[in-house]
Amino acid sequence: MEPPILQQTGPEDFVLFRGDGRQQRLLLAHHTRRGLGLHGVPPLQVATEAVRILQERERPLEAASATGAPDAVLDLGAAVGRDPAGFEELRMRLS
């Protein structure tokens, strides 16, 4: 599997470049990283590993807004946290 290609666009904001030419906006809140004990790990590294976990578990990497627009921001913390072991795996991979 190709590694995800992410670009950090703000302190908590990222863009995932998808293979089909589309882009997905992502959010990884500071409090999520801090809660996982990953505040010293670069945000881009945490976001990249979170996307890998979601891809490996075949979780959707798209969010839809209330109006159904596909350009909504995907909260990586919420997406990884849907799986009970997701946060633990993220912490383990980055420790």
pLDDT at 70 over 60: no
Q: Which amino acid makes up residue 66?
A: A
Cα–Cα distance, 86 to 54 (Å, whole number): 9
**pLDDT score recorded for residue 67:** 47
pLDDT at 79 over 70: yes
pLDDT-derived band at 1 (thresholds 50, 70, 90) equals low
Cα–Cα distance, 94 to 2 (Å, whole number): 19
Distance, CA of 6 to chain centre: 9
Percent of the chain with pLDDT over 90: 53
Task: Tell me the whole-structure pTM to 2 decimals.
Answer: 0.84
> For the chain, how are helix, strand and coil distributed in percent, rounded to 5?
35, 15, 45
- Average the pLDDT over 33-62 and give the result: 88
Structure tokens that stand for 42 in this block: 């670069």
